[in-house]
Structure 1
Amino acid sequence: MKKFFVLGFLFILPLVAYMFFAAADHNFSMLPTLGEPVSELPEGTKSLRGDSIVFDSNITIMGFLGKDAKSRYGHVFNLAHKIYTPYSEFYDLQFVWLIPEGAEGTIPDLEEKLSKIKETEKWQFVVLSDQQIRKLKAELGSPHKLDDDLGSDYVYILDKDKRLRGRDDDEDVGTLYGYNASNVAELDDKMDDDIQVILAEYRRALKKNDKYKRKQL
């Protein structure tokens, strides 16, 4: 009897484990898509540090710094502590702040302050025309308005296909298009969780693709 029990246990355990992981794979949560892809940045767009910047094939944390950038330093510092510091090492994750033409003079001061929190290599400050900024904001479909200086308290997550990601069942607002960078609790409780979900989603897709390639070989 003991032998049959052990053999039965050894047979059943892998089956149960397989069913558990299969169910987990099937029910894997994804961060909801909230609209159509936004336009790519104009061809040849570079950040103030000279890096070529595109949305395609990158997970982008995007914000609108506005002409009065100093008034949003606190927002940037909140994002630096809560999101940039723990996640900036992910190679396909980029942090892009959009700046209207003529407002770039405040950025060196901001970068110097940010460097005291963590290296600023993944912070990308991109200068666009007023019209380009308004067009991109409109394409997001977010109800949050830009301020008169073309800045915003909110930051957004774009996936590798340039689509806005967020929540469609948020307990507070229903559809969560963006994250209020002036609210540390929202960054800590909601945005942090959602960044983990989308990063896990792409890691999972990468592993599945790698397994498929190996099978083909």
Structure 2
Amino acid sequence: MKNKLVLILLFILPIITYLIFASAKHNSLFLPILSENNTEIPKEWKSLSGDNVELKDKITVLGFTGSDIPEFKARMFNLNQKIYNKFFGFEDFQIVMIAPEGTQEEIKKNVVELDRITEDMKGWKFVFAKPEEIKKYHQSLELISNLDNNFGTPSVIILDKNINLRGRKGKNKKGEEEYRESYNTISAAELHNEMTDDVKIILREYRLALKKNKRKDDFRDKITNKVEETSRKSE
């Protein structure tokens, strides 16, 4: 019975993975790099658990809560439902929020409330710093948008494992010039469409890199390749 269960999982998981990747509607198989080698989170900034949080070797959605935590709560819910719940199963995926010192207790309450409707919250990371330190760190990213008066923003960005900023640059499907460095967490539609597609693309990119480096499970990849071949024939 145990062996049958293992075989079933080996067959189903690559199919599920393929369906997630293949459903991206973006017109590219690669998400452009907008800026390279951004600054790591300072080691003195501690998380809710007191541990260090690192961006290197992780695919990170990075955001800034600001000091108005009740206002941030709605944005956190949108991000959780539209992005986190879809991708938390990927080991290297995380959502990191930088918050002003003094907001720890309010954020803990938000985490507890969200935990009731979320399977696993371990991919949510909060780090705390002084407002001026947060402002300086945000400026180092050289983004178009700025922080508000509460040292927060509704926008989040995607960083790859080398802490490169990833987004959209160039012509879209309609042939129009497009530039996107961040995603508005107030808009559930934007998260569901544009951001979901872009996260899928970057996860697919790393999967293909693993295959190229021959660090893969041959049995599962053969099944995935068969699904991809069948899909192409049906198009």
What TM-score, normalized by structure 1, do the two folds share?
0.79
Question: Could you tell me which residue of structure 2 aligns to residue 191 of structure 1?
Answer: 195
Which residue of structure 2 aligns with residue 18 of structure 1?
none
1:117 shift after superposition = 2.4
Per the alignment, do residues 109 and 198 of structure 1 end up closer, same or farther by CA in structure 2, a change over 3 Å counting?
same
- C-alpha deviation, 1:44, in angstroms: 5.2
Tell me the equivalent position of 1:81: 81
| Structure-1 residue corresponding to 2:165 | 164
Determine what percentage of the aligned residue pairs are the same residue: 38
Which residue matches 1:150? 151
2:127 is matched with: 126
**1:204 counterpart letter in structure 2:** L
- What's the CA shift string for 1:41-70, capped at 9, x where partnerless? 112543212343111111111110011111
**Structure having the higher Rg:** 1
Report what 1:70 is aligned to.
70
1:21-52: CA deviation from partner (whole Å, max 9, x where unpaired): xxxxxx97210111132111112543212343
Give the number of equivalent residue pairs. 187
Residue 14 of structure 1 aligns with which residue? none
Contact 2:97 2:127 in 1 (8 A): yes
Residue of structure 2 equivalent to 1:24: none
Determine the C-alpha separation between the residues in 2 that align with 1:110 and 1:173.
39
Ranges in structure 2 where 5+ consecutive residues have no aligned partner? 1-26, 217-235
Give 2:179's aligned residue. 175
In structure 1, C-alpha distance between the alignment counterparts of 2:100 and 2:58, rounded to whole Å: 22
User: Aligned equivalents of 2:183 and 2:46: distance in 1?
Assistant: 25
Query: Could you tell me the TM-score, scaled by structure 2's length?
Result: 0.74
- Runs ≥4 in structure 1, deviation > 6 angstroms? none
What residue is the counterpart of 1:53 in the other structure? 53
How far off is 1:210 after superposition? 2.2
Larger relative CO (CA 8 A, sep 6+): 1 or 2?
2
Distance 1:170 1:74 in 2: 32
Unaligned stretches of 5+ in structure 1?
Answer: 1-26, 213-217
Deviation at 1:160, TM superposition (A): 0.6
Q: 1:183 to 1:170 in 2, by over 3 A?
A: farther
